[in-house]
Structure 1
Amino acid sequence: MSFDLAAADFSSESGLPERASVVEWGPDVAERFHAVYVDSFRERPGFPDPSAEEWISETVEEDDFREDWSLLVSLPGVGDAGFVTATEGWIVQVGVVPSARGRGVGAALIRESLRRASASGMRESWLCVNVDNPASELYRRIGFRDRGRRGRFQEV
């Protein structure tokens, strides 16, 4: 799926819930990102459950990883509730813990990451999503457009 950053209007509020706090990726918060990643995806079949060290290493080793577009949100009464990681031209991962779903956290994180990418001069952003992922409809509502379909991922 792709998003046309050049045509996007980022003038409105991010949509984060009131009193939400957002921090950018950094060595001091990377383990918090990992904890939210685990809480967000552990119930998915085949969840790989990487260690914090392994997941953080893989994340920062992505080509053109952008700490300033990779964000963690905390909510009152929930704590760390969602994250997005990004590279130049890509939303890499988005996750929201079950207790914070349905509050617009994922959409707001994606919009803020896209806003930052646009402000840095990027003109387009992409993401890959499994066809059975219910979040694909969220991505379409945000403004991502389908650009193709891949049959399945294969192990290398």
Structure 2
Amino acid sequence: MTSGEKYQENVNGKEDMDNYSEGSRRSTVDSVFIPFKTKKTFNQRLTESKNIKSRFPNKIPIIVERYSKEKNLPLLDKTKYLVPQELTLSQFVLILRNRMEIKSEQTIYLLINNKSMVTMSSTVSQIYEVDKDPDGFLYMTYASQEMFGV
């Protein structure tokens, strides 16, 4: 299966928000986590985001990583997400919660670009326009506790 075919898989008839690049899945038992920005050079990330945006102009490329000091929430099985522009942050958090299979009483905090928290009713498109990285990706960090002073 090619990377492009992965987009087309979906039980709901919509494009899948699964990985859009080979090698973006990781084992939940990884003992050493390497951030996406460390794995690839700026130019590699920029090229990848431009390719994604040209192939899927109505989608937002998002990188979601666990806060480095997080101990309570599991690692997600992937870091790359391709989501519809109109998806709200609260809807995206629900997707993340389902992927982590965590209890409803567990709280998830999201930090955008390691600097800000945003309103849950904001669309990913609104967040992307304000907070996208120069490499073209939107970066989110998740944790079970507030990460002020990171």
Smaller-chain TM-score bracket? 0.3 to 0.5
- Larger RCO of the pair (alpha carbons < 8 Å, separation 6+): 1
Q: Say which structure is richer in strand.
A: 1
Q: TM-score, normalized by length of structure 2?
A: 0.32
Q: TM-score, normalized by length of structure 1?
A: 0.32
Q: Say which structure is richer in helix.
A: 1
